[in-house]
Amino acid sequence: MDMDRRRLLALGAGAAVAAGVTGAAPTAQATGTTTGTSGVPSDAALARRLGLRSKYAKGQHYVIGGHGEPLVLLPGWPQTWWSFNKILPALAKRYTVIAVDLRGMGGSAKPADGYDKKTMAADVYNLVRHLGYDSVNIAGHDIGAMVAHSFAVNHRAATRKLVLMDVGHPDPSLYDLPLLVRPGQGFSLWWFAFNQVQGLPEKLITGRSRHIVDYFMDAFPPDPSAIDELSRRVYAHAYAGPDAIRAGNAWYQGFHQDVVDFAGYGKITAPFLGLTSEYSYESNLAVWSGQGTDVRVHKVPGTGHFLAEENPQAVISELTTFLG
């Protein structure tokens, strides 16, 4: 598979103002011990396993703990904050970690609109200020990387250092994606088109989200066992209902506005580390090198897309070296 196709694949393996997203109450998943008959531990129970605390504020569910400089972690599709479970305990020894469920994700609010990445970044900014921080380190994966990029350019004074994992911000190249990929010339990004459809995905996926989760967790990592059974159940549960499916798809439907916003963004001025799978290194290096004033791009060995779960020790090492 050529590098450009690999980069496009990595892009997605994944407006109301942010201050208005305050009306929704935390879900049972965020506050209880188990949810329904799924047998999936709640976010609170999962957080306790890691020595962290599950919280809710400004319309967003987040998990927090540790000591030191603040480090905000933003996950992607089809996952939740739990995608950082293998790196959070180690990072919490050096930083105050804040793993956030984005607008529409997990225990966070799922409003009708506001899924462009600029608005989602404003959500995160409002949460950061609510927690009492003027500035934070911020790291994102997949959709979370898009939001982290937007955070860094729209809230420059609030950004100490930035880490993007395997995905960049939507840009006009999205419109060049082929509907059909010729045999042997890449991997079809079928979910980009599927997630643009309104109404139908909810009907097809509700109650069947485990099939979506298993597809991606089996297709991308060189070793699919890196995403274990508990994690797969957590993700499937998070996207099991029609509202969650609608909201997750809205991140993709927001790409059109994201491309418009991107055209007006300047370079990232905060120190910027890009972490990529081995497959997408060359293409991400070419793209990211021109998007910041202080950029370094490193491979995470043995990974396909889910870097923090496939090679957590390498990600921990990269983060702690970069953040200091």
CA distances from 221 to 228, 243, 315 (A): 12, 28, 15
Catalytic residue positions, numbered: 142, 252, 305
Tokens 């060049």 correspond to 176
Taking CB atoms within 8 Å and a gap of at least 24, the contacts of 258-263 are: 258/116, 258/117, 258/118, 258/146, 258/150, 258/169, 258/170, 259/170, 259/171, 259/172, 259/174, 259/175, 261/116, 261/117, 261/118, 261/150, 262/169, 262/170, 262/171, 263/172
Distance CA 241, CA 255 (A): 23
Q: Cα–chain-centroid distance for residue 51?
A: 22
For residue 81, give the 3-state DSSP assignment: helix
Would you state the structure tokens that stand for residue 203, as one six-digit string?
């009907």
Using DSSP bridges, classify how beta strands 53-57 and 60-66 pair: parallel, antiparallel or unpaired.
Answer: antiparallel
- Sorted by sequence, the CB contacts under 8 Å of residue 144 that are 6+ apart come out as 73, 74, 75, 76, 102, 165
Distance CA 133, CA 5 (A): 39
CA distances from 215 to 40, 84, 218, 227 (A): 20, 20, 5, 12
Among the listed residues 45, 77, 86, 80, the one whose alpha carbon sits nearest the alpha carbon of residue 62: 80
Residue 141: beta bridge partners? 165
Other CB atoms within a 10 A radius of the CB of residue 271 amount to 19
- Sorted by sequence, the CB contacts under 8 Å of residue 263 that are 6+ apart come out as 172
